[in-house]
Structure 1
Amino acid sequence: MTSANLAAVDHIAIVVKGYPRLSETFIAQEILGIQQAGIPYRIVSLRHPTDKKRHPIHQRITGPVDYLPEYLHDAPLRVLAGWWKARKMPGYKAAIAAWRRDFRRDPTRNRLRRLGQAMVMAAELPADITRIYAHFLHTPASVARYGAMMRQLPWCCSAHAKDIYTSPDWEMREKLADMDWLVTCTRANVDHLRALADDPAKVNLLYHGLDFSRFPEQLPNRPMRAGDDAADPVIILSVGRLVGKKGYDDLLKALAKLPQNLQWRFVHIGGGNGAKYAALANELGIADRCDWQGPRDQAEVITACQNADLFVLASRIEKDGDRDGLPNVLMEAQLCGLAAVSTHISAIPELIRDGVNGRLVPERDPDALSAVLAEMIADPAARDKMGKAGNAIVRQDFSFHAGMRELGHRFGVDQDAPASRQE
Structure 2
Amino acid sequence: MRLAVIVTEYPKFTETFILRDVMKFLESGADVRLYHLAPYNSSEVLHEFARPTRAIARHVGLVSPRTLASFTAGLGRLAGPLTVIGAQQGGKPVLAGKSAVVSVAASAIARELADWGADHVHAEFAGHPATAAWVIHRLTGIPYSVSCRAHDIFRTQRLLAEKLGEAAFVRTISNFGRAFLASHVRGLRAEDIQVIHSSVDVESIPQLGPPSQDGPFHVVYVGSLQVRKGVDVLLRALAATDIPDWRCSLAGDGPERAELEALAADLGLRERVRFLGKQDFAAVSTLYESANVIAVPSVIGPAGRTEGIPNVAIEGLAFQRPVISTNVSGIPELIRPGETGFLIEPGSVADLLRALEDVQANPAAAYAIARQGRRLVEEEFSLAANARRQLDLFRTHSAAALGRAAE
TM over 0.5: yes
- Alpha-carbon separation, structure 2, partners of 1:76 and 1:40: 25
Contact 2:148/2:171, CA 8 A, preserved across alignment? yes
Query: How far has the Cα of 1:275 moved from its partner?
Result: 2.4
Aligned length: 391
Query: How far has the Cα of 1:15 moved from its partner?
Result: 0.8
383 and 250 in structure 1: CA distance in 2 versus 1, 3 angstrom threshold: same
Query: How far has the Cα of 1:32 moved from its partner?
Result: 0.9
What letter is aligned with 1:264?
W
Alignment partner of 1:287: what SS?
Answer: coil
Tell me, yes or no, if structure 1 residue 284 matches structure 2 residue 273.
no
Q: Which moved more, 1:246-255 or 1:47-56?
A: 47-56
- Alpha-carbon separation, structure 2, partners of 1:64 and 1:86: 26
What letter is aligned with 2:317?
Q
Query: How far has the Cα of 1:315 moved from its partner?
Result: 0.2
| Paired position in structure 2 for 1:29 | 20
- Alpha-carbon separation, structure 1, partners of 2:65 and 2:58: 17
Question: 1:24-60 CA distances to partner (integer Å, 9 max, x unpaired)?
Answer: 1110011111111222221110112244422122123
What letter is aligned with 1:266?
C
275 and 263 in structure 1: CA distance in 2 versus 1, 3 angstrom threshold: same
More helix by share: 2
| Paired position in structure 2 for 1:271 | 253
Question: What does 1:148-227 correspond to in 2, within 5 Å?
Answer: 148-168=137-157, 170-195=158-183, 196-200=185-189, 201-215=191-205, 217-225=206-214
Tell me, yes or no, if structure 1 residue 346 matches structure 2 residue 329.
yes
What letter is aligned with 1:65?
A
Residue ranges of structure 1 left out of the alignment (5+ in a row): 1-8, 226-231, 416-423
| Paired position in structure 2 for 1:395 | 378
Q: Which moved more, 1:103-112 or 1:135-144?
A: 103-112
Of all paired residues, the percent bearing the same amino acid is: 26
Tell me, yes or no, if structure 1 residue 101 matches structure 2 residue 87.
yes
| Paired position in structure 2 for 1:123 | 111
Question: What does 1:3-402 correspond to in 2, within 5 Å?
Answer: 9=1, 11-47=2-38, 48-61=40-53, 64-69=56-61, 72=62, 75=63, 77-87=65-75, 91-108=77-94, 109-127=97-115, 128-168=117-157, 170-195=158-183, 196-200=185-189, 201-215=191-205, 217-225=206-214, 232-259=215-242, 262-273=244-255, 274-402=257-385
Contact 1:337/1:387, CA 8 A, preserved across alignment? yes
What letter is aligned with 2:195?
L
CA RMSD in angstroms comes to 2.1
286 and 219 in structure 1: CA distance in 2 versus 1, 3 angstrom threshold: same
Contact 1:176/1:198, CA 8 A, preserved across alignment? no
- Alpha-carbon separation, structure 2, partners of 1:97 and 1:414: 27
What letter is aligned with 2:105?
Q
Question: 1:333-357 CA distances to partner (integer Å, 9 max, x unpaired)?
Answer: 1111101111111111111111223
Query: How far has the Cα of 1:221 moved from its partner?
Result: 4.7
- Alpha-carbon separation, structure 1, partners of 2:175 and 2:42: 32
